[in-house]
């Protein structure tokens, strides 16, 4: 703006100078054109008057016309400056001779202004759409990052376009640093790379593959089993070479499935054994092999014993299943563990006397009670004492002791025997389902579920603890604890 004003001022000054010099030159011309014999004084005076007059007239005309043009130029300049600043300029007032030019400029500026506003509106819409797309993209990435399943997306060049945090943890890379990197440079697992490549190169455009693949990340841990789901997805218009790979950890599911299969297999075997015995003795009875009353009574007793064994096996399996499923109902009451232990001792005294085993209960001067399910506690003590009698040779001892463990805030019951003991290699397995020590299977019959049921009742249902210690040939010590109600001791002195 300042430069334009300076140029206009310089132009006007030069015009005035030209008018003045023109007048002087005109005066000189008049002097030269005067007659030679005319006096010099009057000629000079006339020339001077004429030159000054011409200069004054020229100066006046240039000043008036130049000032008007100057004002018009300033108004046009201000109008254009306002339009360039994005403002809506008002009406441009100029001299009549410049009105047509001003109207043309105003029309052009108005059209340009409309185009600029339309371009700005389109730009704002594009920016808004871009922000929406970016927000949706970030939201999608956040959702995928929150998944426990790993997700990897690769393009037609086998470059990683997206990988969530879970995929990085499984395959050992930083998901924030692998964008646009080659898959083979990031993933060391050759089978994963091969499956992705085969899916991308497959002629079937809608191919979807599911395979189980073991991926081991820790040397001290076994491999984890992952279900890989690979599918082709369109990366862009007409291109279906992008591959989406989902890695789902199914290790626990496979272990549970295997455990169920093992359980069904072992349960079938255990159920088949008493059923086979019952069937065999029934067939002998039908065939008339029991010719006298004593033989028939013996056969009936065997059938009854096997039926009782079958019933116990079914009851134990059902109880364990209910506890594992979390649907067992606990009838909480104040259980007197001294009375419970004494009741079991009285119940099993005939069995102990048949082997000349001393069965006794040892307690202190207190009444040891805790909130628990009385029937379940009876079953726990019964299973432990029954096992102790089974695996204790004739003339041995089985002792049930009940006391308080105030450090744990629990009633502690211990069953100690002088029996065969448990081999060191088997001591950590005795609480597993259907587990029985091979060398002891002929010593006493059993289902292999009793100790597993004890562990579930004590630890799963009552949040207690159960442990075992043993020396081979010297006997075993089974101990379980049941917490007092809410950790508060309810042991009271005997009345």
Q: CA 349 from chain center: how many Å?
A: 58
Measure the N-to-C terminal CA separation of the chain; round to a whole number of Å: 112
CA distance 152 to 161: 8
Q: Give phi and psi for 37, each to the nearest 5.
A: -90, 0
**C-alpha 302 chain-centroid distance:** 58
Q: What integer pLDDT is reported at residue 159 of this predicted model?
A: 87
CATH (domain of 379): 3.30.565.10
Same-domain pairing of 241 and 268: no
Q: Are residues 244 and 117 in the same domain?
A: no
Residues 337 and 485 in one domain: yes
At 341 the pLDDT is 92
Dmax (CA) of the chain: 192
- Residues 6, 130: one domain? yes
Instruction: Please report the pLDDT score of residue 490 as a whole number.
Output: 32
Other Cβ atoms closer than 10 A to 220 = 4
Q: How far is CA 75 from the centre of its chain?
A: 67
Contact 63, 20 (CB under 8 A): no
Both 406 and 458 in a single domain? yes
What is the rounded CA–CA span in Å between residue 257 and residue 268? 16
Distance CA 287, CA 429 (A): 43
Let me know: does 83 contact 112? Beta carbons within 8 Å: yes
Write the CB contacts of 235 (distance below 8 Å, at least 6 apart in sequence).
155, 156, 161, 241, 242
Q: Domain residues for 245?
A: 149-249
**242-249 and 150-154: which strand pairing?**
antiparallel
| Residue 420 pLDDT | 84
SS3 61: helix
Instruction: Give the integer Cα–Cα distance in Å for 5 and 10.
Output: 9
- Helices and strands in the chain: count of H runs, count of E runs: 11, 14
For residues 284 and 126, give the distance between their C-alpha atoms in angstroms, rounded to a whole number: 92
Domain boundary among 249, 281, 300: 249
How far, in Å, are 95, 154, 240 from residue 203 at the CA level? 79, 17, 10
Angle between helix 374-390 and 337-354 (nearest 10):
30
Domain CATH code at residue 179: 3.30.450.20
The domain tally of the chain equals 4
Radius of gyration of the chain (CA): 54
Mark whether 228 and 131 lie in a shared domain: no
Asked if 205 and 240 touch (Cβ cutoff 8 Å), the reply is yes
pLDDT attached to residue 162: 86
Find residue 175's DSSP bridge partners: none
Which CATH number fits the domain that encloses residue 285? 1.10.287.130
- Looking at residue 149, its pLDDT comes to 86
Distance CA 334, CA 350 (A): 29
The CA-based dihedral angle spanning residues 266, 271, 273, 276, taken in that order and rounded to the nearest 10 degrees: -140
pTM of the shown model: 0.50
Based on the fold, state whether residues 318 and 352 are members of the same structural domain: no
What SS3 class is residue 320? Answer: helix
Which of 226, 235, 160, 150 lies closest to 193, judged by CA? 160
Residues 222 and 140 in one domain: no
Q: Which of 292, 323, 354 is the last residue of a domain?
A: 323
pLDDT in tens, the chain (495 residues): 555 555 555 555 555 555 555 555 555 555 455 555 545 455 455 555 555 555 555 555 555 455 666 666 676 666 666 666 655 556 666 667 666 666 676 777 667 777 777 888 889 899 998 888 888 878 877 787 778 888 888 888 888 888 888 888 888 888 778 787 888 888 888 888 888 888 888 776 655 667 777 776 554 556 788 888 888 876 555 555 788 888 888 887 887 777 777 667 666 766 777 788 888 888 888 888 878 888 888 888 888 888 887 887 787 777 777 777 777 777 888 989 999 999 999 988 988 898 899 999 998 877 788 888 888 888 899 889 988 888 888 889 999 999 988 888 889 999 999 988 888 888 888 888 777 766 666 666 666 778 888 888 898 888 899 999 988 888 899 999 999 873 333 333 333
Q: Are residues 316 and 350 in the same domain?
A: no
Q: Are residues 364 and 392 in the same domain?
A: yes
Q: Among 146, 166, 195, where does a domain finish?
A: 146
Q: Do 371 and 401 reside in the same domain of the chain?
A: yes
Is the same domain home to 83 and 163? no
């Amino acid at each position: 703006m300042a430069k334009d004003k300076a140029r206009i001022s310089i132009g006007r000054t030069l015009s005035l100078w030209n008018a003045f010099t023109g007048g002087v030159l005109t005066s000189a011309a008049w002097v030269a054109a005067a007659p030679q014999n005319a006096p010099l004084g009057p000629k000079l005076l006339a020339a001077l008057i004429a030159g000054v007059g011409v200069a004054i007239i020229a100066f006046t005309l240039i000043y008036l016309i130049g000032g008007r043009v100057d004002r018009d130029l300033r108004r046009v300049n201000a109008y254009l400056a306002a339009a360039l600043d994005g403002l809506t300029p008002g009406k441009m007032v100029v001299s009549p001779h410049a009105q047509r030019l001003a109207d043309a400029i105003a029309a052009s500026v108005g059209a340009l202004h409309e185009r600029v506003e339309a371009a700005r509106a389109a730009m704002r819409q594009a920016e808004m759409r871009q922000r929406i797309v970016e927000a949706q993209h970030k939201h999608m990435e956040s959702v995928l990052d929150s998944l426990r399943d790993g997700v990897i997306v690769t393009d037609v060049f086998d470059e990683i376009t997206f990988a969530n945090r879970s995929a990085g943890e499984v395959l050992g890379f930083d998901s924030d640093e692998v964008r646009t990197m080659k898959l083979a440079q990031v993933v060391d697992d050759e089978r994963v790379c091969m499956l992705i490549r085969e899916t991308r190169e497959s002629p079937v455009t809608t191919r979807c593959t599911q395979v189980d693949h073991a991926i081991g990340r820790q040397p001290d841990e076994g491999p984890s089993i992952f279900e890989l789901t690979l599918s082709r997805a369109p990366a862009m218009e007409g291109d279906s070479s992008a591959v989406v790979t989902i890695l789902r950890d199914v290790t626990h599911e496979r272990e549970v499935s295997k455990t169920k299969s093992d359980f069904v297999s072992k349960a079938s075997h255990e159920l088949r054994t008493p059923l086979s015995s019952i069937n065999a003795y029934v067939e002998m009875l039908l065939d008339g092999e029991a010719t006298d009353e004593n033989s028939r009574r013996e056969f009936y007793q065997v059938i009854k014993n096997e039926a009782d064994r079958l019933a116990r096996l079914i009851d134990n399996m059902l109880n364990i299943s209910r506890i594992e499923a979390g649907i067992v109902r606990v009838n909480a009451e104040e259980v007197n563990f001294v009375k419970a232990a004494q009741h079991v001792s009285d119940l099993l005294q005939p069995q102990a006397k048949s082997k000349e085993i001393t069965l006794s209960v040892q307690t202190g001067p207190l009444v040891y009670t805790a909130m628990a399910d009385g029937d379940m506690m009876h079953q726990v003590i019964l299973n432990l004492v029954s096992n102790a009698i089974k695996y204790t040779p004739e003339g041995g001892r089985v002792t049930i002791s009940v006391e308080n463990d105030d450090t744990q805030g629990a009633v502690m019951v211990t069953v100690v025997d002088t029996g065969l003991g448990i081999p060191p290699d088997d001591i950590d397995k005795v609480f597993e389902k259907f587990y029985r020590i091979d060398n002891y299977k002929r010593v006493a019959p059993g289902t292999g579920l009793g100790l597993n049921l004890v562990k579930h009742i004590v630890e799963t249902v009552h949040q207690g603890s159960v442990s075992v210690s043993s020396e081979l040939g010297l006997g075993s010590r089974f101990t379980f604890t049941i917490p007092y109600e809410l950790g508060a001791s309810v042991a009271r002195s005997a009345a």
